[in-house]
Chains A and B, each alone.
Chain A
Amino acid sequence: MTAAALDDLGRRVIQAVGMPKDAWEIAAQLEVIGMRDSDARSGYGVRDLFELARAIERRFRAGAYGFTLEGDDPRPHVIPALRFVRRYLAGIAFALPMAMQAAAMLLWGYGIWGAIDLELAQGSAIALGFIASYIAAGGFAQAIVRRGLFYIYQQEEGLARWTALRGFGIAVRVTLALLLPALLVNLLFRILPWPMVLTASLFYAGLTVLWLSWALLYLVHRTELLVVITACALAAVLAAAKLGGASPIVANAVGVIVADVLSFSAAAYFLGRMARKRGNAQPVNPPRLAVLIFSTSRYFVYGVLFNAFLFADRFIAWTTSVGRDDFPPYAFWLNVRYELAMDLALVVVIVMGGMIQYAIERFSEKLVPHEKRTKSADRETFAEEQLDGHRRRSRQLALTAVVALALAWLLLAALTTLSGEPGSQPGSQPADSRSLQEARFHEALTAPVTLRVFLAAAGAYTIFMFAVRNLLLLLTLSRVEAAVRSVAYALLANVTVGFICSRSIGYWAAVLGLVAGAIVMCIVAARETRRTIEELDYSYYAAY
């Protein structure tokens, strides 16, 4: 065997394998390039291929051959500003329909599930249906999305579709079944009059289907359709009311039905298209129901608690008569001023939501390259750098919060000014025939209680959004227990403080529960997040 011949062969093998693990890997390569034991004997004077491989390995370890390892795939070229805008819009996808409805209410007096001219009893019934549907659908929506995304990542789109639709079907049946005990309780205790209960039930059913359909649209990455569907449903409401002469409650019902049909049809279409894309539309051996329940139960609990947190203060405020001058006739009675203040404060959520989405996506896409660059011996430095990044993102979010608060305040000021000018209110008549409704709107905007609730809610939502950023980060790393803990404590604080304050100070003080809950959520989620980032190497592994 000549050294030159061996090295020629060695270089050929090393070129094929990069850095060889050992002689066995080299031997396998020698076989596939056509070498046989007889060739090893005749050409290189060794007993067999294994001995030849060991000779090459020795030369490699002596540094005789250079080698190259492939680098990472080139990063796709992206324009940072466009990326920011795209993600920001994705972040506010679920808030935009609410904003559109608020705008429609102000401009034309109608939303999809609300109208300026609604009787308060009907408005209260819709509000009750809305809150109940939001909480009831929240757990199912989380579970459907979680399991669906799991299968999409596994490239099992047929299964994703199957589980999503199965989850949807179960969710609809269970949430509708929940109506039965509610109706029974009302039958026994006569809490609300039956027309109100019927209206609440119908809107509960319609809105539950809507939230679940929107979860399906989120699953197929079609959240931009929410804006289109909201616009269509609003158009249907306005057409029914203005052209068809329908009463506000009927127009609202039309709007919800249109939104339901469009949302579910679009979701079913895109789920089907997704499933057919890879030719695996029909799932094989789909998971048992127990598996679905088992694997998504924590996300279900999270969804229920989170949505309950969002509306607990309203429910508490509207179930007391303490401090109310609208003399609620029933156990649950909508308060327009409270609702108006909360809606205006939502500007904070919308503005900050986009920034949070951007921050979370950047965190996710930077994590793996950072892990690849960091030797495991430098894990502590890795954690410190990640914590620095987290603090930097917190500062960015704080800046966004300042902008959001300013925008919310400007909006309140602008509406107050506009509503004070004759002839500028929603659905207004000429200035000389200013309606009672318009006067009420201006009065509601300028009422001290509205300002009080608005300021508290804006503050609470600001703190809450910091918590949401951390919750999303925890969920990204599959730390769902930590997220559940944060929301559970926060809900407890929200309900406890809200209940005590609303029953001792006045109904409006239920918003203090939201403030307390947001603070608790922020503290607990921040602590959990810090702990998670401090051991991010482990957290990322366990997120598998």
Chain B
Amino acid sequence: MTLSVLMTTEGTYPYAAGGVSTWCDALLRNTPEVRYILLPIMMNPHIEARFEPPSNVGAIVNVPLWGIEEPAEFAAETTFAELYERKRGTTDEEIEAEFLPPFRAFLDLVNSGTDPAAFGRVLVQLEDYFARRDYSVTMKSRPVWLAFVATMQLFARRAAASLPPDAREHQMPSVFDLTECLRWLYRFLIVLTVRVPEVSVTHTTAAAFCGVPCITAKVRRGTPMIVTEHGVYLREQNLFLSRFKRLFFCKQFLLNLITAVVRANYFHADVVAPVCHYNTRWELAHGTPQHKVRVIYNGVDPEVFVAGAKRSGPPHVVATARIDPLKDIETFLRVAARVRETHRDVRFTVFGSVADQPYYEKCLALRSELGLDGAVTMGAVAEDVVAAYRDADVVLLTSISEAFPYSVIEAMACERAVVASDVGGVGEAVEECGMLVRPRDVEGFATAVRQLLDDPALRARIGRRARARVLEEFRLDHSIQSYLDLYQRLGQSHPRGAAAQAPDARQPAPLLELRA
């Protein structure tokens, strides 16, 4: 029997480069015996694919959240007449009778952050509703707005009671806060309009909104679900939204929503497969039972990432990281400045795309301020990443948040000495085969880099140990086989079609892009 897997992604494969996309592409390509349906949640429908999915991807169900006025725009198989009829059939009376009860329950569960089982059931009810009624008409209706306002005001009054007096004012939402919150909800719940066919296993690449179709498949049909966490989505969203200082209520609402979705992912998953042990801290703390957790490390192909001699030239320190605050490029620049105080000829390069333009501009300003314009190159993607590693004497990673970065194990496979911040699963990868430094410790990073630059024998020794460790622990084929084993085990426990008799009055899934 052919295994069919629904693979869901969010902001990554196949529309963005990066570690998750690399992992995803490798998994799809190296499991030709599995038939995949790919469901990428994307910022908007006008993004160019960075990867060409392999032929075992039978269908791609794109779910754009922004860049559209309403989800019906990209419901390829919904005819104009059907759409019109559905809009006509979505009146305030129907919304009040059919939508508001689960919607209020949904909001209560978001605000309370408890009962992921009930949250899963409510998601199914909402999904069922949107199979019958028009999404946009419903979400933009007066009853929904009034219900949202009433529910959130009640929540705010309760939450304010536990805050210090000067914070209570910020807990009470402004009209603008509620407008923004419901507009965001409008975008995030678009995922509930997606309909996917029955599969053997669902596999979400983040415990995030892309896990919602997997959760509803689990609740509806018992379809086994795997969650792979590269970064810890909840942690990353907490970090991201901490920058959002202006509108506290909006931050709170988004984090409550995200927390509820993340916990529902963990709760409904049969296997939570983080890419490093470090991630399990957050997963366990948010209700994942220990027995569900199975760490599967990322792997690299040792035939591709092989050691090679460095071209002649001045000493070179390389980072492969996108320009993003989480990568803490500012610390990289400060380290470069400190190292060049004693080693004037060292060059520094950050290979990676610009993910955050304002941050990039801030880094450019800092580079000039530190007098590094001629010494540090950044903002360019490496054409040949293996050559980029080979051209390095030291590979430096200054991130303040990581899971199990490819850049570290790729550099290790290329026998390069790595200096990395001790965050996430970096320590698990490096162990004794590189140097770990506390994040943002400029002096610590600079000392480690200087030590390696001054001691070629030490670099070579660390590099050899690093490759040996990769060969033993972080091989791509091992990683792929682990996922395949999971698919087969879970797929056998839930033969596809067994649940086909389960009550499901919905129409066949509209797939945007059917592939041969």
Interface residues of A (CB under 8 A from B): 16-22, 24-25, 27-29, 31-34, 36-37, 48, 50, 60-63, 66-67, 69-72, 150, 154, 156, 159, 283-288, 290-291, 293-295, 368, 371-377, 379, 382, 535, 537-538, 540-542, 544
Contacts and interface: CB of A to CB of B under 8 A. Distances in A.
B73 A368 contact: no
B176 A17 contact: no
A376 B439 contact: no
A541 B45 contact: no
B450 interface: no
A156 B46 contact: yes
Contacts of B145: 537-538, 541-542
B238 interface: yes
Contacts of B179: 371, 537, 540-541
Contacts, number: 163
Contacts of B45: 285, 287
A27 B237 CA distance: 12
B177 interface: yes
A46 B152 CA distance: 35
Interface in B161-191: 162-167, 170, 172-179, 182-183, 186
Contacts of A37: 281
B268 to A, nearest CB: 20
B246 A69 contact: yes
B135 to A, nearest CB: 13
Contacts of A66: 166
Interface in B279-299: 281, 285
Given A34-B441, A375-B175, 15 more contacts: A19-B167, A21-B248, A24-B238, A24-B259, A25-B242, A28-B238, A33-B440, A67-B167, A72-B246, A156-B44, A294-B80, A295-B70, A377-B172, A541-B179, A542-B142
A544 B162 CA distance: 34
B439 A69 contact: no
B175 A371 contact: yes
Contacts of B170: 19, 69
Nearest to B326: A32
How many B residues are at the interface, by size bracket? 35 or more
A259 to B, nearest CB: 33
A295 B73 contact: yes
A544 B68 CA distance: 11
B153 A21 contact: no
B67 A156 contact: yes
A376 B239 contact: no
Given A150-B69, A154-B67, A69 B248 contact: yes
A373 to B, nearest CB: 7
Given A24-B238, A32-B401, A535-B142, A284 B80 contact: no
A32 B439 contact: yes
A38 to B, nearest CB: 10
A32 B239 contact: yes
Nearest to B328: A32
A125 to B, nearest CB: 38
**By CB atoms of chain A within 10 A, which of B67, B70, B285 has the most?**
B67
A37 B153 CA distance: 37
Nearest to A24: B238
Contact of A285 (B46, B83, B241, B246): B46
B440 A19 contact: no
Contact of A376 (B73, B173, B421, B422): B173
Contact of B149 (A150, A286, A293, A379): A379
Contact of B153 (A19, A71, A376): A376
B69 A295 contact: yes
A153 B215 CA distance: 34
A271 B457 CA distance: 60
A19 B152 CA distance: 19
B140 interface: yes
28 contacts: A17-B242, A18-B242, A18-B248, A19-B245, A19-B248, A20-B242, A21-B248, A21-B252, A24-B235, A25-B255, A28-B238, A28-B239, A29-B239, A31-B401, A34-B422, A34-B438, A60-B164, A69-B248, A70-B245, A70-B246, A284-B46, A287-B45, A373-B174, A379-B175, A537-B175, A537-B179, A538-B142, A538-B146
A365 to B, nearest CB: 14
B388 interface: no
Given A19-B248, A32-B401, A294 B73 contact: yes
Residue of B175, B245, B252 contacting most chain A CB atoms (<10 Å): B175
Interface in B54-84: 66-67, 69-70, 72-74, 76, 80, 83
A135 to B, nearest CB: 24
Contacts of A16: 242
B48 interface: yes
A89 to B, nearest CB: 31
A265 B251 CA distance: 47
Contacts of B152: 376
Interface of B: 44-48, 66-67, 69-70, 72-74, 76, 80, 83, 140-142, 145-146, 149, 152-153, 162-167, 170, 172-179, 182-183, 186, 234-235, 238-239, 241-242, 245-246, 248, 251-252, 255-256, 259, 281, 285, 400-401, 421-423, 438-441
Contacts of A48: 281
A541 B44 CA distance: 21
Contacts of A372: 174-176
A154 B152 CA distance: 28
Scoring A19, A50, A61, A290 by chain B CB atoms within 10 A of each residue's CB, the highest score goes to A19
Contacts of A31: 235, 400-401, 423
A471 B164 CA distance: 47
B42 to A, nearest CB: 10
Contacts of B246: 69-72
Nearest to A291: B73
Contacts of B83: 294
Contacts of A63: 164-166
Contacts of A28: 235, 238-239, 242
A32 B400 contact: yes
A382 B174 CA distance: 11
B242 A541 contact: no
A370 B246 CA distance: 16
A294 B72 contact: yes
A542 B165 CA distance: 34
Contacts of B245: 17-19, 69-70
A31 to B, nearest CB: 7
A478 B80 CA distance: 21
Pick the most buried of A24, A50, A379: most chain B CB atoms within 10 A of its CB: A24
A371 B249 CA distance: 14
B154 to A, nearest CB: 11
Contacts of B175: 371-372, 374-376, 379, 382, 537
A281 B441 CA distance: 43
Nearest to A147: B69
A503 B239 CA distance: 74
Given A156-B67, A368-B176, A34 B146 contact: no
B271 to A, nearest CB: 23
Contacts of B163: 61
A169 B165 CA distance: 61
Contacts of B44: 154, 156
A375 B174 contact: yes
A389 B471 CA distance: 72
A36 B164 contact: no
Contacts of A535: 142
Contacts of B164: 60-63
A286 B46 contact: yes
Given A34-B440, A286-B46, A371-B174, A544 B153 contact: no
Contacts of B166: 63, 66-67
Nearest to B325: A32
B153 A377 contact: yes
B234 A24 contact: yes
Contacts of A67: 166-167
A284 B234 CA distance: 31
A376 B248 contact: no
